[in-house]
Every structure is written in structure tokens, then in C-alpha cells.
Amino acid sequence: MADKLGIFVSSDENWDQLLKTVRAAVARDKELIIFFTHRGTYLCKRPDFSELGKIVEGHGKMSLCLVSLKAHNLGDENTSIPGIANKDFATQARHGELIEETDRYLAL
């Protein structure tokens, strides 16, 4: 893959933009690293969240902040979220890794 695009999702207001960006990145053979935190964790409860997971599959990984998930009463480390493995329930340290590992970085 050519390079890596990091997407930091801290808002629940940019779903359409997130999908468009991810589709465009995949079409350009970019590797994706997406991290959901704060209100961005609400997106994982959307009925169409699995669509995002299907697009990202084979083109990168998604993870989310477990502290935010718990703080917003959306679940815990045993919650099943399409496209996010239990090992990808993380802390803000994962956000730091995203910054270090990516060539480009987008915050939504």
C-alpha cells in the first residue's frame, strides 16, 4: 500500500464525511488507521456501522477508546462492535500510535 491515512474521530456529526473519506482512501490504495474517541464512539451504535467495517476490512484497522465507550454508557470490553476486534478497544495511547504511524492525519 502506498501510504497510511490516520483518521481521528471525536465527533458523532461527520458520518457521511467519514464514509466518503474512507471510500476515497480505499480507491487510492491507502492504508487506514481509524480511532474513535469521545462522542465519536456513538457512531459504533449506528445500525449501518458495519458498512464502515466492511469498507475498511483488508485496508487497515479501526479501534476505539474504551474509556469513552464506558463513559457514554455504550458498552465495555465485552461489547461486540462490527469491524472492531476486542483487542482494538484501546486507550488514548492508541491515538498517539496513530499519529506516529501515519503519513497523513485527519480529525473529524
Residues near 1 by Cβ (< 8 Å), separated by ≥ 6? 29, 30, 31, 59
CA angle 80, 84, 86 (to 5 degrees): 65
CATH architecture assignment, domain 4-107: 3-Layer(aba) Sandwich (3.40)
pLDDT digits (tens, 9 = 90+) for 37-64: 999 999 999 999 999 999 999 999 999 9
Rounded Cα distance between 52 and 15, Å, is 10
| pLDDT score for 94 | 82
Taking the chain (108 residues) in runs of 10, the rounded mean pLDDT of each run is 86 96 96 96 96 94 95 94 91 84 92
Give the start-to-end residue ranges of the domains of the chain: 4-107
Number of CB atoms found within 10 A of residue 80's CB:
8
| pLDDT score for 2 | 60
